[in-house]
């Protein structure tokens, strides 16, 4: 045996080492399993959804799917050809066939079609509804959340009462969204008599993300160095001037970027809106045929997550519904991914601008 093999750091087999290796493999495989599950879910949606959303020929996206309302799908055989058509197209087709037959002096042909509800057309109203819900509820949540964070962090005397308030807010973040949905229905829809409406949905969703927004805002306010506040006050500023000019501008990037993660949550929740704002189907877009401008706020809307729920569990399932399900889920994922990317880019840019 050579001398080199007898150095004092030579590895010796021991129970500890075996255990160490075992732990390492358990942890590693857990991570891989999670990755696999995630990859499978996303892969499935992307694969099946992209066939609904994208086209191989120009303009490469399925414009019908993105710009039109859901319709019933009619599947029928005519002149030996199997055809699939949306509701309006089918009616036009039937009319044209009837006129053709009339011109030829024959009786109108009977077209026997099977119809599949919501399997044709698109999800434009759902996209619109989701965007409206997100914009409105986030505006409300930001206004209320930033205001209360300012109070909690800048004005309130830090005592037991404020600690209890903070704890309550944190706990609110853990309340299941269905509870917020029922609360919203009780308060806004029934008690305040707003009916199932955009406004009720806004407030319900805003209440749901409020804890996230408040906590994020407080963190951002805390991250602003105390020196800025002292400097400002020492120059004769009032407290509010100090907050306006020496605290909020520097906290805002943080507040906004953290709140963007709240947007993903608002966009995705089904339970809070299903009793308060979402309609299964609605022919008119929110801005069409309004009698008064205020009616805008008191109408229900369609929304992406609720649409996914409806087409996956509320209508008879068949080979044609799957396209809509996956397509909708895919569009939804794209929107959330876009929001997340925006937040990351925004954060990086603002960070560069406001470093101290």
Partner 1 sequence: MIEIGNLDFHYGPSQALHDITLNIAEREVTAFIGPSGCGKSTLLRCLNRMNDLIDGARISRGAIRIRGVDIHQRDVEVMELRKRVGMVFQKSNPFPKSIYENVVYGLRLQGVRDKTRLDEAVETSLRGAALWDEVKDRLHASGLSLSGGQQQRLCIARTIAIEPEVILMDEPCSALDPIATAKVEELIHQLKLRYTIVIVTHNMQQAARCSDRTAFFYLGKLIEFAPTREIFMTPSNPQTEAYVSGRFG
In the complex, minimum distance from the CB of residue 237 to partner 1, in angstroms, rounded to a whole number: 5
CA angle 305, 307, 309 (to 5 degrees): 75
163 binds partner 1 (CB under 8 A): no
Pick the piece of the chain touching partner 1 (CB under 8 A) from 53-61, 116-124, 245-253, 275-283: 245-253
CA 187/CA 9 separation, integer angstroms: 70
User: Closer CB to partner 1, residue 42 or residue 240?
Assistant: 240
Q: Does residue 250 touch partner 1 according to CB under 8 A?
A: yes
Between residues 28 and 239, which has the closer beta carbon with respect to partner 1?
239
Q: Give the Cα separation of 213 and 219 in Å (integer).
A: 10
Give me the DSSP letters along 143-176. Answer: HHHHHHHHIIIIIS--SHHHHHHHHHHHHHTTS-
264: closest CA among 195, 213, 158, 340? 340
* Nearest approach, Cβ of residue 319 and partner 1 (Å): 59
Specify whether the CB–CB gap between 255 and 144 falls below 8 A: no
Q: Quote the least distance from Cβ 152 to partner 1, whole Å.
A: 14
Q: CA 167 → CA 161, 163, 258, 334, distances in Å? A: 10, 6, 20, 35
In angstroms, how far is the first alpha carbon of the chain from the final one?
A: 61
Choose, by CB under 8 A, the member of 187, 233, 334, 340 that binds partner 1: 233
10 vs 352, which CB is nearer to partner 1?
A: 352
Does residue 320 bind partner 1 (CB under 8 A)? no
354 binds partner 1 (CB under 8 A): yes
d(CA 177, CA 173): 9
Q: CB under 8 A: which stretch of 8-16, 86-94, 238-246, 325-333 binds partner 1?
A: 238-246
Among 114, 139, 171, 238, binds partner 1 (CB under 8 A): 238
For the segment 188-227, give every residue that binds partner 1 (CB under 8 A). Answer: 225, 227
The site for partner 1 (CB under 8 A) is made up of 157-158, 225, 227-228, 230-238, 241, 245-246, 250, 354-356
């Amino acid at each position: 045996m050579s001398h080199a093999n007898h150095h004092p750091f030579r590895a010796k087999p021991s129970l500890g080492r075996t255990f160490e290796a075992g732990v390492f493999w358990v942890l590693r495989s857990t991570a891989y399993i999670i990755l696999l599950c995630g990859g499978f879910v996303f892969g499935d949606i992307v694969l099946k959804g992209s066939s609904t959303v994208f086209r191989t020929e120009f303009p490469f996206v399925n414009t019908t799917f993105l710009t039109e309302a859901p319709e019933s799908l009619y599947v029928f055989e005519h002149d030996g050809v199997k055809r699939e058509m949306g509701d309006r197209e089918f009616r036009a087709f039937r009319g044209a066939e009837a006129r053709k037959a009339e011109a030829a002096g024959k009786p109108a042909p009977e077209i026997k079609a099977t119809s599949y509800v919501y399997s044709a057309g698109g999800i434009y109203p759902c996209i619109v509804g989701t965007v409206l819900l997100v914009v409105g509820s986030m505006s409300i949540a930001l206004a209320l959340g930033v205001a209360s964070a300012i109070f909690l962090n800048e004005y309130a005397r830090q005592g037991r009462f404020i600690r209890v308030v903070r704890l309550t807010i944190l706990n609110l973040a853990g309340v299941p969204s269905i509870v917020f949905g029922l609360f919203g229905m009780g308060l806004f829809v029934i008690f305040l008599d707003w009916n199932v409406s955009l406004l009720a949905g806004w407030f319900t969703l805003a209440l749901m993300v409020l804890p996230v927004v408040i906590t994020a805002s407080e963190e951002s306010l805390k991250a602003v160095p105390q020196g800025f506040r002292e400097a400002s006050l020492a120059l004769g500023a009032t407290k509010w001037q100090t907050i306006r000019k020496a605290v909020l501008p520097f906290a805002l990037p943080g507040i906004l970027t953290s709140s963007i993660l709240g947007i993903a949550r608002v966009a995705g929740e089904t339970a809070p809106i299903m009793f308060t704002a979402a309609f299964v189907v609605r022919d008119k877009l929110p801005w069409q045929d309004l009698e008064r401008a205020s009616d805008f706020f008191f109408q229900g809307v369609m929304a992406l997550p609720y649409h996914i729920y409806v087409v996956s569990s509320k209508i008879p399932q068949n080979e044609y519904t799957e396209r809509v399900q996956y397509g909708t889920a895919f569009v939804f994922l794209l929107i959330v991914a876009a929001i997340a990317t925006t937040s990351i880019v925004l954060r990086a840019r603002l960070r560069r601008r406001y470093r101290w």
